[in-house]
Amino acid sequence: MKSIRAFCLYSLLSLTCVSCIIDEAAPPDKVEGYAPVYITRAGADTVLFTQPRNTVQAGKIVLHGNILYQVEQYYGIHIIDLTDPEHANKIGFYEIFGCTELTLQGSYLYTNSGNDFLVIDISMPEQPRVADYKAGYFSGISFPPPPAKGYFECPDPAKGIVAGWEKKTLNRPQCRY
């Protein structure tokens, strides 16, 4: 009876080890997968007011009076005049590197720039001023995951932050989702 138990245990351990070896096989030389699309850090403690732009990756919104502020994931915040709701009018855009969040109180806009925290004085909307900046304030903000399971190119923080993914042929990718 002991020999049967020992044989079963040995067989189970052998199968487990074989499955580990298969799972840890080297990645293929070439495979379809996802590569990160980076945006480079232009200055986490700066905000630029620019001309309106198309919304591509819409994020959170906050209504403040007749003005709607809408995050453009990883790029900044749209400023939209809703004085006439039937004819919403984009009046500008705040370029903010790595922006994904926003809230407002009075004439201050609170947002992130990647993992950094910004308080922006918007009392003069076309001349935003950084009123407070805290580097590395948020530790939980990370890149968006690839859109589908499979191989992907490992993100490289030295290249910027990941704002999206593009499907392409990868050479020996080291990451898998």
Q: Which domain holds residue 119?
A: 27-177
- Supply the pLDDT for residue 12: 40
Q: Report if residue 67 sits inside a domain.
A: yes
Cβ partners under 8 Å of residue 63, min gap 6: 69, 82
Task: Quote the number of domains for the chain.
Answer: 1
Place of tokens 């040995």: 10
CATH of the domain at 158: 2.40.128
Q: Report if residue 156 sits inside a domain.
A: yes
Q: Report if residue 139 sits inside a domain.
A: yes
Report helix, strand or coil for 73.
coil
Cα–Cα distance for residue pair 126/87, rounded to 1 Å: 21
Block means of pLDDT (10 residues each) for the chain, 177 residues, are 40 36 65 88 78 95 96 95 95 92 96 90 94 83 80 86 88 88
* pTM > 0.75: yes or no: no
- Supply the pLDDT for residue 95: 93
Q: Report if residue 125 sits inside a domain.
A: yes
